[in-house]
Amino acid sequence: MAAPKTLLVLENFINGKFVPCSSYIDSYDPSTGDVYCRVPDSGKEEVEIAVTAARDAFLSWSSKSLQERSQIMNKLADLIEHDLEAFAQAESKDQGKTITFARTVDIPRAAYNFRFFASSILHHTTECTQMDYMDCMHYTVRTPVGIAGLISPWNLPLHLLTWKIAPAIASGNTVIAKPSEMTSVTAWMMCKLLGRAGIPPGVVNIVFGTGPKAGEAIVSHPEVPLISFTGSTLTAQHIKEKSAPHWKKLSLELGGKNPAIIFEDANLDQCIPTTVRSSFANQGEICLCTSRIFVQRSIYNEFLKRFVEETRKWKVGSPSDPTVSMGALISKEHLEKVKNYVKKARAEGARILCGEGVDSLALPTGNQNGYFMLPTVIAEVKDESCCMQEEIFGPLTCVVLFDTEEEVIKRANGVKYGLAATIWSSNVGRVHRVAKRLQAGLVWTNCWLVRELNLPFGGMKASGIGREGAKASYEFFTEVKTITIKH
């Protein structure tokens, strides 16, 4: 059925060309609740065509010099930066995030992902060892893996997709990428720039559609030997099962239930605004957001009072309003899910200190049907509660008290996830001690979300397998071989 003309209609990008799809799905503007875009509902057939294009492009792309690939990627970064405002507007409308967040975080980072890997790819070296008593030397070579299957979520759409595409193509692979069906617009916009940047047809193919159809077709395709996935732990489990018969290389970046541990010697003037931000930035829809705040007994009451006051300053409203701190949640279903956790907490006897069900939310006329919710703080919740154990991925955070260092380490580690953690203390010895014992792939002390792309990023336990970053991504997107020479 032809799509109505008034809606934005996306097309797949395969072999350097936009190609229509036989069926489409609706995509909503979360700030109004209206359908505004139609996304290809691709499946096996479209993925098969993309695999052919990626296979045909591989030899030529992987044979290019590193410098040439690097130059092309820098050009793509230039083009994204040139169109930054258009990309930011589109990302905000598609995802519900504030225009400020899209302008200052998502799109600059998407451009920087290309620039970063364009540079880092030039600086890797391989290993060499000597075995003189055998008159031998050994060295390693690295080669691209082939066609990379890249699947990304809806919370940081272009940011996370380019975090995969950039290292994959820098390393000489060709790719088939699938953004979330809920946030596909900026990926489609970027396709318009690929040819202008000099990326040859077939090197980057983007197939739009749902996880069960398009995603699964990529994951189970025998000619796609590598899958880089960012998304939920549940989907990752499914991907592991589907890809297992093909012995695929997997990188899985998954959910979190991230603790912030606030000791009595913390600088609360810095800690409180940062912890409000780490709880509610991007509507709490960042895998690294804080959702369990452990506060030492002697400062608990003061912390709670000031934390709630600071949270109440966060304005919720139209994402296009630059004075707003929080926009809309991604979907009606997700909003209901997050609100349900508040209901469950209340039923369990927890105290809702601000936000959902406590304060009133005033929205502009045009946003009455959007998926908004106030930032919500819950206290007196038990560690076993679903609010303290499950990833909620919304603007809801729990504050609980603790007494000792030993106790808080145990409780912070007492969830199935292990992505990120934050420690607030002015005691250097304690900071090192606790950081080492926390089960988390990333630990920030006295700060949050300060990213160093050179170093490994990723989670432990149910938060994932593998790491991403300059060296980690290079190792993932290449195969290593050891060669021995007798002389």
Could you list the residues that contact ligand NAD (CB under 6 A)? 151-155, 160, 178, 180-181, 210-212, 215-216, 219, 230-232, 235, 238-239, 253-256, 287, 391, 393, 419, 459, 464
Least distance from ligand NAD to the Cβ atom of residue 274, Å: 20
Gap between the Cα atoms of 25 and 233, Å rounded: 24
Q: Which is nearer to ligand NAD, 146 or 215 (CB)?
A: 215
- Apex CA 31: angle with CA 450 and CA 215, to 5°? 70
Least distance from ligand NAD to the Cβ atom of residue 401, Å: 26
Gap between the Cα atoms of 283 and 392, Å rounded: 11
Q: Which is nearer to ligand NAD, 302 or 452 (CB)?
A: 452
Gap between the Cα atoms of 177 and 234, Å rounded: 20
* Contact assessment for residue 172 and residue 143, using Cβ atoms and an 8 Å cutoff: yes
Q: Which residues are catalytic?
A: 253
- Kindly state the tokens that stand for 10: 């996306």
Beta strand 396-402 with 376-379 is: parallel
Q: Which is nearer to ligand NAD, 70 or 291 (CB)?
A: 291
Q: CA 263 → CA 379, 413, 446, distances in Å? A: 17, 16, 11
Q: Which is nearer to ligand NAD, 138 or 238 (CB)?
A: 238
Least distance from ligand NAD to the Cβ atom of residue 126, Å: 28
Q: CA 79 → CA 85, 108, 198, distances in Å? A: 12, 11, 11
Q: CA 396 → CA 12, 275, 378, distances in Å? A: 36, 12, 7
Least distance from ligand NAD to the Cβ atom of residue 209, Å: 8
Q: Which is nearer to ligand NAD, 253 or 356 (CB)?
A: 253
Q: CA 219 → CA 148, 187, 355, 484, distances in Å? A: 10, 20, 40, 35
* Contact assessment for residue 205 and residue 14, using Cβ atoms and an 8 Å cutoff: yes
DSSP string, 296-359: EHHHHHHHHHHHHHHHHT--B--TT-TT-SB---S-HHHHHHHHHHHHHHHHTT-EEEESTTTS
* Residue with the two structure tokens 């975090």: 163
* Contact assessment for residue 16 and residue 200, using Cβ atoms and an 8 Å cutoff: yes
Least distance from ligand NAD to the Cβ atom of residue 464, Å: 6
DSSP string, 361-386: ----GGGTTS-----EEEES--TTSH
Least distance from ligand NAD to the Cβ atom of residue 419, Å: 6
- Which residue has the CB atom at the shortest distance from ligand NAD? 211
Least distance from ligand NAD to the Cβ atom of residue 392, Å: 10
Q: Which is nearer to ligand NAD, 230 or 318 (CB)?
A: 230
Q: Which is nearer to ligand NAD, 288 or 431 (CB)?
A: 288
